[in-house]
Structure 1
Amino acid sequence: MLRRQRSRIEACKYKILLVGEQLRFQMHVQHVIEERRFRLRNYKACFVGRDAVDWLILNRHAHTREEATMCMGLLQDQEIIHHVCDDHLFKDECLFYRFRRDDETYLQNKDLRAFFKGQHLFDRLFASRAVLRDFHAPGVVYRDSFMGRELIDWMLQSGLSITRDAAIKDCRELLENDVIKHVTDDYHFRDDDLIYQFSLDFHQPYLLSDILTFRRTSSSSSSSGYTRSSVEMTALRRRSTPVSMTSSLRSAADDSSSDSSRNSLPLLNPSPLESSVDDMSGRLHSGSTESTDSTCSLQPKSVLLRHVTVQELENPDTPYMKHTVKMVSDSVGYGFVIRGNSPAYVQTVDPNGPAAAAGIKVRQFIHSVNGKNVLRMDHKAVGKLIQQKMGTVCLVVMTHKRDAAVQTR
């Protein structure tokens, strides 16, 4: 579910960029974009805000001047256009604006760089049709796809890259920015016979007003992404500390006897632990059955999309990227739940806790705690290490590239 929501968010973002690029091309063809002069100074490749609104309505890109102004403002928010002196937001007035593609200021934006590099590659590939073809698998056909090795060969023959390593680096960057993807999203880009495809059809025509639909879709997806986990964690975290520790630790101990892979350890209380988590769980077994059952009902199912092994995480070509996170606990704790055995992963994050503020996300795997590799430990041992140095902790987490692209902009 979360994977589909993240994919929709990325697709919406690049569709808005595509609308902007199509609009720029049309405005150049119809001479809306020209060199202009104001107070003895020439401004190359720019357009007038009021003239652009007139043109947008005439060409049915928008129905009203207000809608046209709003949509152009959204393009400015995405850094597709800007005022020539960066002094004004987009207005239906006699002010000069310019597409960042025309003055190359887009190079300052990682998303724009990846988008335009991908668009150029897409256009060249579809013009030659030397690499793109349909691949058939049981029950599915992957349209207009390509093999990683064949793409690298073609890029070298076409002069798009000087060396093989440079071509591989460019393709990995495109995949990390969700411009291209492995057809089943299981592998990073490799120079072999794995199959990839573009995440977006760059030839699909759009109107400017379409970005309002894209924006609504993106907003609804992002706002609903962690609804269940957020509610569950808030309920767990805001209980009184003795009840939370009792019920949560007892639940973890009970689960371990039946299925160790379904365990979770809420990191709720920063007070020092003089003994192991298992010993504390035993001492707190006197907690009421009612509170225990209530907490157990709040524990969600695993958020992982599929089982991931330690060997996959340690593979040099793993699609999981490392990221260092430093956290300082508040009066309640760190505010996240871990689960799983070799490797342990983040199951739930309190949106109002220190973990969320530090950048901890669900489905991240815990690689190390305060410099100690914990990939082959279960979540109880990892939780004990996190609680050893109370008040602060340094984690190295591993995030899948599809999740990292959404989290960092």
Structure 2
Amino acid sequence: MEELSLHLLQSIAEAEQLGEIFIIGEQLRLRLHEEKLIKDRRHHLRTYPNCFVAREVVDWLIDRKEAVERETAVDMMQKLADHNILHHVCDEFRDYRDAKLFYRFRKDDGTFPLDLQVKVFMRGQRLYEKIMSTEGLLQSREEDGVQYERCFMASQMIDWLIQEREAKSRGEAEQLCRRLLDKAIIQHVANKRHFTDSGHLYQFRTNFRRRRRLMELLMKRPQNILENQDSPFCLRKQSQDRTNFNSVSPSNEVRGVAVRRSSMTSSGSSGYFSSSPTHSHSPPVVMCNPRSVLERPVSLEELLVPGSPYIRKTLTVVSDDVGWGFVVRGEKPCHVQAVDPTGPAAAAGVKIRQFVVSVNGHNVLHYDFRTVSRMVLTGPRTIVLEVMEEVNK
């Protein structure tokens, strides 16, 4: 079977980030239409159809709490302009200005560049909506002894594409699915294989229906976030002052001090922690939880063997303005390393030493903390966790 190369994995990550920008831009366009901010406007005896006033949209973003300051709102709109999602009506200005200037979404005036990336993405979105209304294709299935939710078998997907006249032959259908995987729309359940006409299982990687926050446009996902010993995506601050963060309670087995720079700043920080406040030009460092809180290593086989002393729980965690309030670590399986006692995760029942089974229905038992971190960080504000914890712990 063809496994994913490192180069392909990097290309998929880039396509995923670009795809998210497309979705955010489209969701914003529809919202502005609903709010009547996009409409025909006249200036110097000329009518400009389906456009908006730049300054009005900046006001709207701040009023809707999508941005905390005008500079951040302008940065968001500039990000969309940089990706050819919107432009000045006369293409006179390349930058987005907080002024009484007319701008328009390229999808509204038919100038959106339909390159291969966009065509595959738009087709993937159409197939996603079509499959969501089809019964029986997405099911709970098992591969290599692991149960996965809402997944499809490759050969059955090919059958469905031919039946729905989305492809004329099995070869054409397989090539379509390979392009969908290349553009981060679908993925192998364990993210190990390319798409082949086989019995392997795949899932949709992109949730087109999730409501994105515009702030996600400015969230950078540098690799060093995923290379730290602990995942910093969800630790939670109490204030800008130093805050004690106890990863183990009530003992002092592991203790650290953590301060988080706000993710709402123009620097685009996305959850770094350090022992003291950082400056915008200084690389942050994760200092908390230097060693695992597990009393002993636990293998995946030990966790899943019939009669094991572990029970499953389903927990729903809704993030606040600064995160979810817990940290994961380890791999196959990863575990909860730390929980902020006053954070959303603690309120939902997340505890240290719990093993993470699934995130929003996606089985993660074979993933390391880097992958689980990325899934939570780039997912919706509300996450559904399935965890396993030892009885009487």
Flag the structure with higher helix content: 1
Greater C-alpha radius of gyration: 1
TM-score, scaled relative to structure 2: 0.49
Normalising by the residue count of structure 1, what TM-score does the alignment of the two structures yield? 0.47
